Amino acid sequence: EDKVVQSPLSLVVHEGDTVTLNCSYEVTNFRSLLWYKQEKKAPTFLFMLTSSGIEKKSGRLSSILDKKELSSILNITATQTGDSAIYLCAVRNAGGTSYGKLTFGQGTILTVHP
């Protein structure tokens, strides 16, 4: 069974701080790892990672995948109150009867205080 574990489950910081969110996974056939941000409604896509060591960046957010360690991190620098959200990590299965399966972790609740 595919499994995704995120840590920490919650995090409270002040504006300007840098945060690192962690994601580890077990998947029978790895295709990709995805990060999503969820504010009050539906999750919205941030990044997709397929290869180890390649960093994806978008503004103050960046993410990197370590396929050897079966993990990924999401970094947010110079945090702002608008970064407050649930950050979700997911893995996409590439093989067999679970091809295409998309399994999410429990999420990290990030709260950024002014």
Rounded to a whole number of angstroms, the minimum distance from the CB of residue 60 to another protein is 20
Interaction of residue 58 with another protein, rule CB under 8 A: no
| Member of 31, 56, 67, 71 binding another protein (CB under 8 A) | 31
Nearer to another protein, 43 or 65 (CB): 43
- How far is Cα 7 from Cα 109, in angstroms, rounded to an integer? 10
Using CB under 8 A as the binding rule, whether residue 24 contacts another protein is answered as no
* Distance in angstroms (rounded) separating the CA atoms of residues 12 and 59: 21
- 51 lies in the binding site for another protein (CB under 8 A): no
Determine, following the binding rule CB under 8 A, whether residue 12 of this chain makes contact with another protein. no
